[in-house]
Each structure stands twice: as C-alpha cells, then as structure tokens.
Structure 1
Amino acid sequence: MASIAPWKQALDAHIQTLACPTFSLATASQVGGLTAPHVRTLVFRGFYAELPVNKYNPVSGNTGFRSDLIAFTTDKRMEKFRDLGGVEGVASSSLPTVTNNVEACFWIPSDENPMIGKQWRIRGRCFVLPRDLETEDRGVKQTKKWLIEKLSREGGGDGSGFDFAKEYKAHFGNLSPVLRGSFRNPLPGAPKELGDGGLMPKCPIGDDQLDEEVALSHFRVAVIEPTRVEYLDLEGRTKTIWVPVGSDAEKNEKLENFGKVADSWREVEVWP
C-alpha cells in the first residue's frame, strides 16, 4: 500500500485555485540522432484514482481510492505518445517501454500580482497506460501490478479491487464533448493536403455517446510518478525540495543528511 506524499495536499490546494488547471510538461526525444526537447501545455486531470466530479459525466470513477500519480490524457496517434515511449504492439504495455523521464511545472499566480506567485516542479517517470488492463499480456499484467501498489484505499489497503476499465471510461467522459470528438478526427499533425485519411472531422461526442469506438481506440490516460518535487514560493521567498528516501535524486543532490523525513520522503528547505 502506498503512503500519501507530504507535499500532495499543498500542491492539490494550489491547483484548485486555478480557473483552468494546466501545467507545462517537458520531454526529450531522439530525432535524427539528436535530442529534441519538447514543452507542451496539458490539463491536469486529477490524481489518478481521484477523478474530479463532473456533473455532465454519466460515468463515475472509482471511489475510496487515492494516489500520488498525476494524470493527464492524450491521443495515441500524437507525437507526444511516441515521445513518452508509447508503442502499439505485443510489448507496448510493458513497464520498460511505456515510460519516460519528464518534468511537469505548475504556475500559481498571486491574486495581488500575477507577476509573482508559486511554482511547483514535479520530476518523474511517465507511464502511458494501456486501454485494457485485464488482458493476459505479461507487460500489461506488470503495469497493473505496479498501479495496484501505487494506489491506496481509504481506511487501509492497496488498489486491489480497483476497476481500471471504469476509470478509463470515466476519464473519457470527463472531457468536454468537443475534445472527445477530436479523438475520431483525422491524424493529428498530418498535412491537410494529404487528405483526411478516410476520417472526416466529426461533430462533438455528447455525454450520452461515450461508447464511440473510434474515439475510444485512440484515447489514452497517462500518469506521472513523482521522483522529485520542488516548491518555490516567490511571495514568501522560500524553496522546498522533496525526494524519496534512498532515491537517486537524494544521492545525486547529496541530501541524505539534511531536512526531515516523513512517509518515505525527505523534505529539505533550500535557498531560493
């Protein structure tokens, strides 16, 4: 059973103040033998297993579970999917192939002065989850086992009994009708001069149309497992770092003898 990280409550409280909970995601991929950086603006879809309630979504997520995993969604046809290691095929869901080191950055502007505020940087491993976590594929079973260990149940216990298919469908239902419809549009990023590939731009997918198979086949949920968290408060002029005890981040930054430890995380105040 995973314990809840000591930084989570503060991060969540700050995200709740945002009118639109967006964050920047930095990745790096190999293009033509060169490392190509990418920064994308994504929407925070809640901590995995804690899907925000949407009154327009007829499909509810799981209740009574929680995690520290940061969730977002993507289209498997996008470049982002490939940058994160997503590959369709027999081994596409194995833990080693659907992971990449990333860094997410949230900016929380001050009410008094938008030029200053609070910044959260979360470094970690990103996993593109397979659509179906109930198959007998060895990689899928590994991913499901990993997820169960990362989840915790309110009152005690791990993620055993978590309905992954329900969570997948609920994430799709939590999107706006227009965004749902985009998952059955022509190939993202392809020049329009090549045609629509047999997929004409479609109308939005309503709340009563959540079984649209073409859109669902392209839709994926991804999660970030934090391995280093940094909080900078420009108003209070403070900066705090959290790293898992015994982790590479703790060793590389030589933090073993500093700060305090709570729930397997080391918290260290540093100079801004």
Structure 2
Amino acid sequence: MASITPWKQALNSHVQTLACPTFAFATVAASQAGGIAAPHVRTLVFRGFYAELPVNKYNPVSGNIGFKSDLIAFTTDKRMEKFRDLGGIEGVTSSSLSTATNNAEACFWIPSDQNPMIGKQWRIRGRCFVLPRDLETEDREIQETKKWLVERLSKDGGGNSSEFDFAKEYKAHFGNLSPVLRGSFRNPLPGAPKELGDGGLTPKCPIGDDQLDEEVALSHFRVAVIEPTRVEYLDLEGRTKTIWVLVGSNSEKDEQLENFGKVDGTWREVEVWP
C-alpha cells in the first residue's frame, strides 16, 4: 500500500495555482552504437497523481474514486521519441527496474503573483514507466506491472487496492484530453519527415466526447507515471530549500544525508541552504 508523503500536499496545492499545469521533463537517451547519450527536455502537462484523475465535466468517462498514489502521471504517444528514451519498455519488468534510461526528472515552476521573476520550484526525480494499455491479460510481465501499481495505491478508509479498475482509468485519461489532442494520436508517425508521406494515416479531425473508442488512437495512447525517489523544493520568496529523499536510497547515501533532518514515514526531510 502506498504511504503518505510529506511533500505531496504542498506540491499539489502549488500546481493547482497554474493556469496550465505544465512541467519540464528531462531524460537522457541511451547512446546508439558508439554514439553519445544525449539529454532531452520536454514540456508536458501534469495529469494529476495516478488514480486521482481531476474531475472534468466534459469527460463522459470517470476514473476510479477513492484511491490515491504518489505517482506523477502524464500521457504520451508510444510512437514518440520519449518512449524510446525511457528504454522502450511498456510497464515494470525485472529488467526495467534496473534500466538506467528510465530515470527522469520533472521540474515545476510556480511564479509569484507579485513578481513572475521569482517564485517556487519543485524538482522530482525518479523512475518513469509507460504503462501498458491492457493490464488485465495473463502475460507475466504485465501482471508484474499490475502488482507494482497495486502496491503503490491506497484507498480512502482502507480497503483493497486490487479493486482498482485499470481499464477504466486508461479510458478516463484519454477522455480527459481535448478532442484535438485525442485526434493527434491517430495522425501519421510523430517526427517523420512529411516527404515520406503519411504512411496510410492521413491527418484526422478531433475525436469527440462520443468517440472515445477510436481504436487507432487508443492503440497509440499511453499513460506514464513517475515514481518519485528524490524531491526538492526551492522557495525563492522565502529563501528556503528542502530536500526529501527515500530512507536508505542511493540519493540519501550519495548526498550524505543519513544523519541530518527528520524522518517522516519512508522519507527523510532535510533543510539545506538555497
């Protein structure tokens, strides 16, 4: 069962003040046949914490109710380069748990109302996984992903997290997108030169709220999650900086924080100089 984190409420309240809750997403691509590993930074939309999909009055499909997690969620097209940068693996497998390329960092900037040049910054480092579309198959690796997710979910008032409906959550995430963005998932291959043609996928119109079963788009659409292992909060207005690391983690050891701060659940909280 997921534990309550000491930083989650503050991060969530700050993100809610953004007109568009975007964050910078940094990855390092695996080097290709003697090439150099290249860093990539993208701007993504924060889709809430997994299992806590924000209510959208235009979405005819609701997500699961009464569940929580600490997993930061976003959506992506599995044909995009970021999927390859994350190891090109759908889900959590014994190999992906040790795959260096699934390490990522999200950075949120929350500007001050009085002065947009100063504000608050959140940096969340962790492992990122692209979730399979169907988590109800008997495939061993998919069941491994499902077990991993269930262990990171909690239910209000107790209860069994295995009751979580993953298919419902997947469809609700797709329905929460705008019709234009939904339609982009059935467009030609992202990043391919237009001179090569459309590959049989001519650009299509938006997907309406009554068309959420569009198979081509759904085959490309994926939900991804970041499992935080290190969280950093910088408040330029208050001139304070706080780091949270998982107790016993590599971050705690590498930064030599074992004997500092206070422990809250599975997290160590340390105030540092900005």
Question: Which amino acid letter does the alignment assign opposite residue 270 of structure 2?
Answer: V
Question: Which amino acid letter does the alignment assign opposite residue 144 of structure 2?
Answer: Q
Question: Which amino acid letter does the alignment assign opposite residue 22 of structure 1?
Answer: T
The yes-or-no answer on 1:182 pairing with 2:184 is yes
Question: In 2, distance between residues paired with 1:121 and 1:158?
Answer: 31
| Correspondence for 1:44 | 46
Tell me which of 162, 167, 173 is aligned to 1:160.
162
CA contact (8 A) 1:150 1:158 kept: no
CA contact (8 A) 2:92 2:148 kept: no
Q: By how many angstroms is 1:86 displaced?
A: 2.4
Tell me which of 263, 266, 270 is aligned to 2:265.
263
How many residues in Structure 1 have an aligned counterpart in Structure 2?
A: 269
CA contact (8 A) 1:147 1:159 kept: no
| Correspondence for 1:97 | 96
Question: Which amino acid letter does the alignment assign opposite residue 64 of structure 1?
Answer: G
Question: In 2, distance between residues paired with 1:220 and 1:111?
Answer: 35
Unaligned runs of 5+ in 2: none
Q: SS of the counterpart of 2:10?
A: helix
Tell me which of 51, 54, 57 is aligned to 1:55.
57
Q: By how many angstroms is 1:93 displaced?
A: 5.7
Calculate the TM-score normalised by the size of structure 1: 0.96
CA contact (8 A) 2:187 2:201 kept: yes
| Correspondence for 2:113 | 111
Q: By how many angstroms is 1:204 displaced?
A: 0.1
With over 3 angstroms needed to count, the CA separation of the structure-2 counterparts of 1:67 and 1:93, relative to structure 1, is closer
| Correspondence for 1:75 | 77
Question: In 2, distance between residues paired with 1:157 and 1:240?
Answer: 33
| Correspondence for 2:207 | 205
Question: In 1, distance between residues paired with 2:24 and 2:82?
Answer: 13
Q: By how many angstroms is 1:85 displaced?
A: 1.6
Unaligned runs of 5+ in 1: none
Question: In 1, distance between residues paired with 2:88 and 2:153?
Answer: 22
Question: In 2, distance between residues paired with 1:53 and 1:96?
Answer: 35
Write out per-residue CA displacement over residues 85-123 of structure 1, whole angstroms, 9 at most, x where no aligned residue. Answer: 2247xxx76353386000100000000000000000000
Q: By how many angstroms is 1:31 displaced?
A: 3.9
Q: Percent identity?
A: 83
Question: Which amino acid letter does the alignment assign opposite residue 2 of structure 1?
Answer: A
Question: In 2, distance between residues paired with 1:21 and 1:78?
Answer: 21
Q: By how many angstroms is 1:247 displaced?
A: 1.0
CA contact (8 A) 1:244 1:250 kept: yes
| Root-mean-square deviation over aligned CA pairs | 1.3
Q: SS of the counterpart of 2:219?
A: helix
CA contact (8 A) 1:184 1:201 kept: yes
